[in-house]
Structures are given as structure tokens and as C-alpha cells.
Chain A
Amino acid sequence: MIVFDQVQKSYQVGGRAIPALHPTSMTIETGEVFGIVGHSGAGKSTLVRLINLLEPPTGGRILVDDENITDYDAAELRAFRRKVGMIFQHFNLLSSKTVADNIAFPMKLAGIYTRSEIRERVEELLARVSLSDHANKYPSQLSGGQKQRVGIARALACRPTILLCDEATSALDPQTTQSVLRLLADINRELGLTIVLITHEMDVVRRVCDRVAVMDAGEVVEMGAVSDVFLHPQHPTTRDFVFESESIDRDELQEDLQKANGRILRLTFRGESTYKPLLGSVARESGVDFSILSGRIDHIKDTPYGQLTLSLVGGDLDVAMNALEAADVHVEVVR
């Protein structure tokens, strides 16, 4: 468990303190995948670097498993960092070392493993990230996705309990992003590792995260379960991110809504209700006619969801809305 207690960070620039993170309190539970989403400069990079103290806070306390890591001396901090893996946007592999030596590097630095222990662990990790055939290659001979897999294997070498991901998929193409995210999800499930992941893509959050914090101008503006934040965004920044990830143009949507007749409702289905043939039966029962203005059926982590914007004409609207709500559909009246 990672607890932020009124943690803040500011930088001294020309004698003035520029805040990068306003006092923030939050808790990241053990074993969850916690996403931090925000535009560049929102402070998310700072936030994730506070967890392994690459950036020391200028105020507040950070507790990891009930230990105040901000009190650690240099040696304690180094020991703590071995239990926190980190992967990076640009991988940050050593170009002078082979894949196997890159993965072995943190274990060698730790100085507590025998040579055979290191060799065994490296082989195990290479297999884990499906790179056994590339052990003796240099990073420059690998593709972006393969480099990030090496990064992940390296981060796991000393069996950490926390994995920090700094825009780990931002330099990768969509397909590679998929496979890297799947690998992270597997690792989280199989090893029970806590993953803290920062990204500027809501899609990444939707695919792997359990909870998410949305950051804007050095502040956490919204936090909660991904399904809540994603389907019912409250803060304008969050809404921007959700719209962006669904590639909805807000002006276009407004135009479409203006052209539509009757009542406009936004229906949100979650879980099993996504698959029910609900709309047809509700339309028959209540006598309303509907047309779909926009919609999306997808998954949040493993849960299916659907979100439809409908315009409804004629019939008995109350009956329709009651029937929908009775079937566990969240109904929001847009107009």
C-alpha cells in the first residue's frame, strides 16, 4: 500500500518556488493497477517519481507498507528502490550491454545474488517476456516493443513489489501497445504486483487499470474506479480525456443532437446487461421509437460496457425509462 499524505513538490527556479504538485493525499492499494492520467506538464511524471524518491518531495509524507520512505537514509533508500521496478517511455536500456546483461544489471548492482542465481533468473525472465532467442543481442537490434519487454524484465529482476510505468507505451505503435499492456496485466495478476502507471492516453487506463487519478495543473482533480471515472466523468479535464479516447468531436456531437427530435437519453450498460436485447423489448413495451445518435460497445479491463446516445420519439417515455433502469441500465437525460 502506498499512501500519500499531503505530499507536495515544488521546484526552485530563479529563487522562486514553482509548484509541480499541490498537496495531495491518496492511497494506492496493494495489488491494484493504478493509473494516473494527465496532459504533459500536469505533474504526473513528478508524482510517479515521488514513489521511488527520484524526486524528493518538498512537503508531506509518503508511506509504503506503513514505512515512511521520506525518512530513509541513502542506504535504506537504495535497498528500497530495489523493491520498486520502473519502466520508461524511451526504455532507457544500456546500449553497451546485451539484453541478458541489461536484465542482470539490477541484480549485479544489488550485490546479494550469486552468479548462478542471476543466470537462472535472467533465463526465467527472458522466457516470461518471450525474448529467450534474443538474449545476446544488443538493444539497438530490437524493435520498440521488444525493448520495452527487456525494460519490463529488467524491472522485475529483483522481484519488486511495486512497478512504476512512466508513459511505458507512448513510444509504441497501437498493436505493440496492446501486447505490452497485456503483459503488464498478466504480471499484475500472476505476481500480485502493484502497478502505478502514468499515461496521457485514457485508452491505456481503460484497458488495464483498476482505479485512476486524473491530474491537471499539479492537482489530482478526479479519482475513482476506472468504470466510474470513464463512464461518468465529472471534471472538465476528465471529460476531455474520455471524449479524446473515443474520438468524439464535441462540436459535431452537439450538431447531431440539435438535429435530432424528441428526448435525448444517454444509456450506460455495464457487465451482463451489455449483451441483453434490451432496446427492442423496451421499444415494444413503451411504444417509443428510437434512433441511435452515437454509441460505443467496448471493455473496461475485463468488463464489457456499452454507452449509447438515443433520441426517443412518441410512446410512453416514463415506461421506457423505468424498464431500462429496472434492467440495470444507467439512464441520463441529455435533453
Chain B
Amino acid sequence: MEALLSNVDWSEIGIASWDTLVMVGMSLLFSVLIGLPIGVLLFLFGKRQLLEQPAAYAVLSFVVNVLRSVPFIILLIVMIPFTVMLIGTSLGVAGAIPPLVAGGAPFFARLVETSLREVDRGIIEATQAMGANVRQIIFGALLPEALPGIIAGITVTAITLVSYAAMSGVIGGGGLGDLAIRFGYQRFQTDVMVITVALLVIFVQLLQMAGDRLVLYFSRK
């Protein structure tokens, strides 16, 4: 056992794990902050919805679709000049975050739109009948009612971001993916590869479990 893992640099793995956590955490935060309002707008502009706006819906939906249809590995590369402009570098943990958000936010926006559509129309109608304005309908009724669905969406987005973050190792993004590529692939250190994969599996499991618990906690149906 000692011999098998002798060439594993544990401090390197610790740093990489932390980097992955930071990348996923930061990009999840921004994906939610950007994706949530976009999702709400997509819902409101939709057909027969509160602020029906076919043109605005078409534009927003197109942008979201474009970002979602580009394979993430391509998006990583396409985003490089933009990332440099935004934060000065396209390398390391910081450099990975903008492309991760560009991939995560539109994904999350669609999930938000879907979970808002699941809210019973009758509840919107009842809230309107109470004399609520659009802002009150969104914050008082729609978002609280869709909360379990939105939390499930955050979980799915977080897990997607874990695999995207691993991919960003390709362009020197840091984290467990970067480690797996540099040691596991380029130096043929299979043990490092196995450890990074195991850590990623554990990470995803923990995310899913935490998400499921939160959904259950907020579900009143």
C-alpha cells in the first residue's frame, strides 16, 4: 500500500481539492445570481404568462440556447479573450470561473424557468385576485412555491459545475481536473488519477445528498 501510493503528493491533492471547491463554489454562486433572474424573466416573458413578451423571450431564449449548445470544452477556449479582459488572466482558479459561469448560468436559468412553470396557475390567479402587483407575485408566491424545484436545480447545476471544473484543467484551470491531467495522464501516475476520480465521486455524492435533504425540508406538498 505504502509503495503503491508512494509517489502521491498529498499536499498537492489537498490544494487541488480546495481549488475545485473554490471553483465550484464561486461559479455556483455567480451562476445562481445571474441564472435566477434570467430564469424568472424567461418564465414571465413566456407564452400566456404575466409579462408575455414574445420578442424578448425569443432573444433571451436564443442566447441561453447558444451558450448551452456549445460544448463546454469549446466554451472554455472561446471564452479565453473575454476572461483575460474581465480578470486579467485565463489561467488558474480565477481564470476558470468566468467560463464556468458562462456554462452554468444559462443551464440554471432553464431549470428555474421549468420549476416556475410547475407552479399551479391557480396560485398566480389567486394572488392576482388579492391585488398583488407583479413584484409581489414573484417574491410572495412564485419563488416560495417553486423553491424546492429551484433548490433541486441548484444541486443539478452544482454537480454539472464539478465536471465542468474538472474539464477546465485542460486550459490550465487548476483543481482536481488539472491534477488528473498533469499527473495521471501526462506522467502516467494512475494512482493520482484514481484518487482524484474518487474525490470527485465523493464530492458529487455529498452535493446530491445535501441537495436532496434541502428539497425535502422545503417541500410542503
Residue interface bits A79-102, CB-to-B below 8 A is 1, else 0:
111101010101011111100000
Residue interface bits A55-93, CB-to-B below 8 A is 1, else 0:
000000000000000000010011111101010101011
Picked from A88, A90, A110, A139, the residue with its CB within 8 Å of the CB of B131 is A110
A78-B133, A82-B131, A138-B220 are known contacts. Are A109 and B140 too (CB-CB below 8 A)?
yes
Contact call A97/B144, Cβ cutoff below 8 A: yes
Contact call B130/A106, Cβ cutoff below 8 A: yes
CA distance A77 to B141 in the complex (A): 19
Q: Which of A138-186 contact B (CB under 8 A)?
A: 138-140, 158, 164
CA distance A96 to B144 in the complex (A): 6
Contact call A105/B140, Cβ cutoff below 8 A: yes
Interchain nearest-CB distance for A1 vs B (Å): 20
Contact call A140/B221, Cβ cutoff below 8 A: yes
Contact call B130/A94, Cβ cutoff below 8 A: no
Chain B residues near A84: list those with CB within 8 A. 129
Residue of A nearest to B136 (CB): A109
A138-B220, A140-B221 are known contacts. Are A92 and B126 too (CB-CB below 8 A)?
yes
Q: Is A54 an interface residue (CB 8 A)?
A: yes
Contact call B131/A79, Cβ cutoff below 8 A: yes
Main secondary structure of the interface of B (DSSP, over half): helix
Chain B residues near A158: list those with CB within 8 A. 130
Q: Is A309 an interface residue (CB 8 A)?
A: no
Residue of A nearest to B137 (CB): A109
Q: Is A52 an interface residue (CB 8 A)?
A: yes
Contact call A94/B122, Cβ cutoff below 8 A: no
Q: Is B132 an interface residue (CB 8 A)?
A: yes
Q: Is B12 an interface residue (CB 8 A)?
A: no
Residue interface bits B117-144, CB-to-A below 8 A is 1, else 0:
0001011011111111100100011001
Contact call B220/A81, Cβ cutoff below 8 A: no
Q: Is B147 an interface residue (CB 8 A)?
A: yes
Contact call A54/B132, Cβ cutoff below 8 A: no
A78-B133, A139-B220 are known contacts. Are A88 and B126 too (CB-CB below 8 A)?
yes
CA distance A78 to B131 in the complex (A): 4
Interchain nearest-CB distance for A31 vs B (Å): 21
Q: Is B185 an interface residue (CB 8 A)?
A: no
Residue interface bits B142-159, CB-to-A below 8 A is 1, else 0:
001101000000000000
Interchain nearest-CB distance for B120 vs A (Å): 7
Contact call A109/B132, Cβ cutoff below 8 A: yes
Chain B residues near A74: list those with CB within 8 A. 133
Chain A residues near B120: list those with CB within 8 A. 90, 92
Residue of A nearest to B134 (CB): A74
Q: Is B18 an interface residue (CB 8 A)?
A: no
Residue of A nearest to B140 (CB): A109
Interchain nearest-CB distance for B128 vs A (Å): 6
Q: Is B218 an interface residue (CB 8 A)?
A: yes
Contact call B145/A96, Cβ cutoff below 8 A: yes
Picked from A82, A94, A106, A140, the residue with its CB within 8 Å of the CB of B123 is A94
Contact call A96/B129, Cβ cutoff below 8 A: no
CA distance A167 to B17 in the complex (A): 58
Chain A residues near B133: list those with CB within 8 A. 74, 78
Contact call B122/A92, Cβ cutoff below 8 A: yes
Residue of A nearest to B144 (CB): A96
Interchain nearest-CB distance for A188 vs B (Å): 19
Contact call B220/A95, Cβ cutoff below 8 A: yes
CA distance A68 to B202 in the complex (A): 65
Residue of B nearest to A110 (CB): B131
CA distance A109 to B220 in the complex (A): 22
CA distance A110 to B131 in the complex (A): 7
Which of B129, B141, B145, B218 is the most central at the interface, judged by chain A CB atoms within 10 Å of its CB? B129
Contact call A95/B130, Cβ cutoff below 8 A: no
Which of A81, A88, A94, A110 is the most central at the interface, judged by chain B CB atoms within 10 Å of its CB? A94
Chain A residues near B141: list those with CB within 8 A. 94
Contact call B131/A92, Cβ cutoff below 8 A: no
Interchain nearest-CB distance for A245 vs B (Å): 27
CA distance A86 to B125 in the complex (A): 10
Interchain nearest-CB distance for B198 vs A (Å): 38
Residue of A nearest to B146 (CB): A96
CA distance A77 to B129 in the complex (A): 10
- Can you give 21 A-B contacts (C-beta < 8 A)? A77-B131, A78-B131, A80-B131, A81-B130, A81-B131, A84-B129, A86-B129, A88-B122, A90-B120, A90-B122, A92-B122, A94-B123, A95-B221, A96-B218, A97-B144, A105-B140, A108-B140, A109-B130, A109-B132, A109-B136, A164-B129
**Can you add 16 more A-B contacts, CB < 8 Å, to A81-B131, A96-B218, A140-B220?**
A54-B125, A54-B129, A78-B132, A81-B128, A81-B129, A82-B131, A86-B126, A88-B125, A88-B126, A90-B122, A96-B145, A96-B220, A97-B144, A106-B130, A109-B130, A109-B132
